[in-house]
A and B are shown apart, each in its own frame.
Chain A
């Protein structure tokens, strides 16, 4: 079991490395062939130099952004689970909450970023708010779906045992919903990172988004690229951690051949 998992990870890392080398090679070639100016698209070497030179402020900026993203994502899970639970047990409240959520989701949330900054300030709270706002919907929708999916006959069986609502929830609905919930988490986590960066774009004093804006305004395109790549890689690592957690928690699932990720 673990041996197979390890092999999958190693294979994944190798594939990623090969693809990365290919992309960097193509990037370098295109710049050479079309003679592109460095301030438009810097060559890989220049981005690396920019990264090394700017590491002293890019790393702290990365931690700020990741912190905002993860806290926003965690809030999504807490609030999403709570709302989903309410909706599963009360059809009446579901009729009120669900349409509101759909409406909220249809709102271009990026447009709300300035309002959030007005309400929550220039600091990290408004970015956490943005990360939460963007990642919340996939979490709650999948949580509702997952909690709904419980086998009616298994619920009957727990009724026969007179297990009570709380125990039925903890022993049947919740574990049964985990695979579907994780589908939602996997959509939501990268979106949370996007939300945090958007928040930083609008108004901030720190974070990757802030550093991108500053570098852009001084035509330091190398730093912009370095910062974007850094946050993309970090977001991918976070995602990988989530997938690993899913594998551990859901190891009871029949192996369905190829994993989706």
Chain B
């Protein structure tokens, strides 16, 4: 863990214009993403956490500041990404959706790798189905398989389970933890769900809106593997309350008598 970080941001700010006004989406963000860690960005909407993820992905440049990436994530296929919606190609079968990245980044035995991933995520029977024939949770699992196919060192997830029902969400949280434990990838996940952050993260980056900035970075030492039993852990509740007070605000509970 003492090695050079996989990615590091120094004094990163991002501004964009919206209806004639400058919006400061991010201000002075400095952060290292360590190799192999599960990093969660959490905050209320408008805190710039999705913007931060897009900057990390290289989908846009920061207005000011620097982002250093290790060369291996700068290669084609070096970053996997999962969005809030599955963002699949509706005209392709599940298997061919998963195979998309290897049509751009060559890979040996891509088909076998895709089938293995589908098996691990419980989608073996659906390789020939079209996305619209699957539930939202299953579609999102397909998106995760697609993101993992090139075996990227870095996996970025932008509220990947935000559109799912609570039960499906918890199941996919545990599946993701399992995949992360097996593959030892570096994961950066954006969420506004506090339980999700506590359940999954090694480190939690709490952000505040207007302008988006980092409020606190918290180490999460809860024992792994975490699961349903973790909710009983006093540390789980404690961390959750701490995050809540940072994000929701400590004053809300006394505002109305």
A interface list, Cβ under 8 A from B = 151, 153-154, 156-163, 167, 171-172, 175-176, 178, 250, 252-254
Contact = CB atoms under 8 A, between A and B. Distances in A.
B101 A252 contact: no
Interface of B is mostly: loop
B39 interface: no
B59 A160 contact: yes
A153 B87 contact: yes
Interface stretch (B78-86, B117-125, B183-191, B211-219): B78-86
Closest 10 CB pairs of A and B: A254-B132, A252-B91, A153-B87, A161-B104, A163-B104, A175-B91, A252-B130, A153-B83, A154-B87, A162-B76
Contact of A157 (B58, B81, B105, B133): B81
B161 to A, nearest CB: 16
B81 A160 contact: yes
B57 interface: yes
A160 B91 contact: no
A160 B87 contact: no
B85 A153 contact: yes
B92 interface: yes
Contacts, number: 51
Contacts of A172: 89
Bin the interface of chain B by size. Answer: 20 to 34
Nearest to A162: B76
Interface of B: 54, 57-59, 76-77, 79, 81, 83, 85, 87, 89-92, 100-101, 103-105, 130, 132-133
24 contacts: A156-B83, A157-B81, A157-B87, A159-B59, A160-B57, A160-B59, A160-B81, A161-B101, A161-B104, A171-B89, A171-B100, A171-B103, A175-B89, A175-B91, A176-B91, A178-B91, A250-B91, A252-B91, A252-B130, A252-B132, A253-B90, A254-B130, A254-B132, A254-B133
A161 B87 contact: no
Given A161-B76, A161-B101, A167-B104, A154 B89 contact: yes
Given A157-B83, A160-B58, A161-B77, 16 more contacts: A151-B87, A153-B83, A156-B59, A156-B83, A160-B57, A160-B79, A160-B81, A162-B76, A163-B104, A171-B100, A172-B89, A176-B89, A178-B91, A250-B91, A252-B90, A253-B132
Contacts of A161: 76-77, 100-101, 104-105
Nearest to A163: B104
Residue among A151, A160, A163, A171 with the highest chain B CB neighbour number at 10 A: A160
Nearest to B105: A161
Nearest to B77: A161
A171 B92 CA distance: 10
Contacts of B132: 252-254
A149 to B, nearest CB: 12
A156 B79 CA distance: 13
Contacts of B59: 156, 159-160
Contacts of B91: 175-176, 178, 250, 252
Nearest to B90: A252
